[in-house]
Structure 1
Amino acid sequence: MENNDRIKEVIGIDLGGTTIKVGRVGNEKIEEIAVSPTPKTYDAMVVVDAIVETISKVVTYNTSAIGIGIPSVVDVGKGIVYDVMNIPSWKKVPIKSLLEEKLKLPVFVNNDANCFAIGEKIYGEGKDFQHFVGVTLGTGLGAGIIQNGRLLKDANCGSGEFCVVPYRDSNYEDYCSSFFFGKYDTNGKELYEKMKNGDQDAKKIFDEFGFHLANLVKLIVASIDPQMVVFGGAISKSFELFKDAMFNEMMNFEYANSMKKLVVRVSSIENQGIYGAAALCY
Structure 2
Amino acid sequence: MEKAILGLDIGGTGIKGGILIKGHLEDIRSIPTPARESKEFILETIATFIESYAHYDFVGIGIGIPGLVDSREGIVLGLANIPSFQHVELKSFLMERFSKPVFVNNDANCFAIGVHKYGVGKPYKNLVGITLGTGVGGGIVINGQLYSGVFSAAGEWCSAPYLEHNFEYYCSGKFFHNVYDSKPKALAKQALAGDLIALQAFEEFGQHLGELLKMIMYSLAPEAIVLGGSIRKTYPLFKKSLFKSLETFAYPTVLANVSILISELDETAIHGAVALVDVQKDMVEV
- Give the TM-score range, shorter chain: over 0.9
d(CA) in 1 for partners of 2:103 and 2:205? 35
d(CA) in 2 for partners of 1:110 and 1:271? 16
- 2:182 paired residue number: 186
The residue correspondences of 1:1-282 to structure 2 (distance < 5 A) are 6-60=1-55, 62-183=57-178, 184-282=180-278
Q: Which runs of 5+ in 1 are unaligned?
A: 1-5
- 3-state SS of paired residue (1:252): coil
Conservation of the 8 A alpha-carbon contact between 2:110 and 2:275: yes
d(CA) in 1 for partners of 2:258 and 2:110? 22
- 2:281 paired residue number: none
d(CA) in 2 for partners of 1:153 and 1:270? 23
Query: Number of matched residues?
Result: 277
Q: Deviations over 1:27-75 (max 9, x none)?
A: 1111212311111334111111111111122233531000000011010
Conservation of the 8 A alpha-carbon contact between 2:176 and 2:182: yes
- 3-state SS of paired residue (1:180): helix
> Structure 2 counterpart of 1:136, which letter?
T
Q: With structure 2 as the length reference, what TM-score do the two structures score?
A: 0.95
Q: With structure 1 as the length reference, what TM-score do the two structures score?
A: 0.96
Instruction: Specify whether residues 78 and 57 from structure 1 end up closer, same or farther in structure 2 by C-alpha distance, changes over 3 A only.
Output: same
d(CA) in 1 for partners of 2:119 and 2:159? 27
Q: Deviations over 1:117-164 (max 9, x none)?
A: 010011101111000000000011100000000101423321100011
- 1:3 paired residue number: none
Conservation of the 8 A alpha-carbon contact between 1:34 and 1:58: no
Conservation of the 8 A alpha-carbon contact between 2:140 and 2:148: no
> Structure 1 counterpart of 2:114, which letter?
G
- 3-state SS of paired residue (2:44): helix
d(CA) in 1 for partners of 2:34 and 2:148? 32
d(CA) in 1 for partners of 2:56 and 2:232? 37
Q: Which runs of 5+ in 2 are unaligned?
A: 279-286
d(CA) in 1 for partners of 2:276 and 2:25? 15
* Range moving further from structure 2, 30-39 or 260-269: 30-39
- 2:282 paired residue number: none
d(CA) in 2 for partners of 1:147 and 1:103? 32
d(CA) in 1 for partners of 2:233 and 2:80? 23
Q: Deviations over 1:184-227 (max 9, x none)?
A: 10011011110111101111110000000000010000001000
Conservation of the 8 A alpha-carbon contact between 2:169 and 2:175: yes
d(CA) in 2 for partners of 1:51 and 1:206? 38
Q: Deviations over 1:77-113 (max 9, x none)?
A: 1110112101111011010001111111110000000
Alignment RMSD (CA, Å): 1.0
> Structure 2 counterpart of 1:52, which letter?
A
d(CA) in 1 for partners of 2:143 and 2:12? 33
> Structure 1 counterpart of 2:181, which letter?
D
d(CA) in 1 for partners of 2:93 and 2:197? 50
